[in-house]
Amino acid sequence: MKFLRYGPAGQEKPGLLDQDGNVRDLSAHIPDLAGSALAPETLAKLAALDVTTLPKVDGVAQKDLRLGPCVGATGKFICIGLNYADHAAETGAAIPSEPVIFNKWTSAIVGPDDDVQIPRDSVKTDWEVELGVVIGKGGSYIDEADALSHVAGFCVINDVSEREFQIEREGTWDKGKGCDTFGPTGPWLVTPDEVGDFDNLAMWLEVDGKRYQNGSTATMVYKVPFLIAYCSRFMSLQPGDIISTGTPPGVGMGQTPQVYLKGGEVMRLGIEGLGEQTQRVLEAVK
């Protein structure tokens, strides 16, 4: 199923996308697509509903009906760096012997088509299409063989990044990753049964119609079950937590010469079966 959250920012309601592309309201069944609503047993009950009996929401998703982030009340936004062999090669970095973990602040999370704001003093704001994994069942020290039972669904994430903040200034990557609007998430939270082979999904990103990223999750170094198990060694994973699993080649930093975002541009990106995002880039506030 394709779950979603719709409505004005901060006032989103839970819903799902029916087979005809209509948004159906789930407010009578769950308060939000967050927390315990993401548990396997709750998602199973929602999947068993007669979708035709759910109220139809006016408007067309991502046209005249705004979609919010596809999961609410996220506690942790965990990211994996250099997790695609071909992306590591374009940056000149070695494939890490263990996953690189960093964080995006949850205040970075916005809807899939919301504007992206270049931060003040930025000179190197970049893009990264990524496969997001949303945790539905929490746990610590999760066994890799059982990891997928902890997944509520998958989604598209644009891991917007300010490279100078991330790499050239003192400290960790985090301050170049978590600026406001740097985490467009959605449009849909797609349940694993509908995603199919998440190890071989085409993914792409364009800026003003020029295709920069054109890759596949097949080149991911550390796969989803391993990443869930690995992260759970260092923190408890909780319902609504997001793991963003890395990006294929084609980022602005990897171009010759390097290319970075400017105000007025439009990013479009998507992952096979998980939907598309479109973001207008806003100039930095002086």
Domains, the chain, in order of start with CATH, read 71-282 (3.90.850.10)
Alpha-carbon distance of 93 to 23, in angstroms, equals 43
User: Once rounded to an integer, what is the mean pLDDT over residues 36-55?
Assistant: 97
Alpha-carbon distance of 30 to 230, in angstroms, equals 31
Is 271 a residue whose pLDDT tops 90? yes
Band the pLDDT of 131: cuts 50, 70, 90. Answer: very high
> What is the model's pLDDT at position 90?
82
Is 95 a residue whose pLDDT tops 90? no
User: Once rounded to an integer, what is the mean pLDDT over residues 7-17?
Assistant: 98
Sign of CA dihedral 23, 26, 27, 33: negative
Alpha-carbon distance of 283 to 191, in angstroms, equals 36
Band the pLDDT of 94: cuts 50, 70, 90. Answer: confident
DSSP 220: B
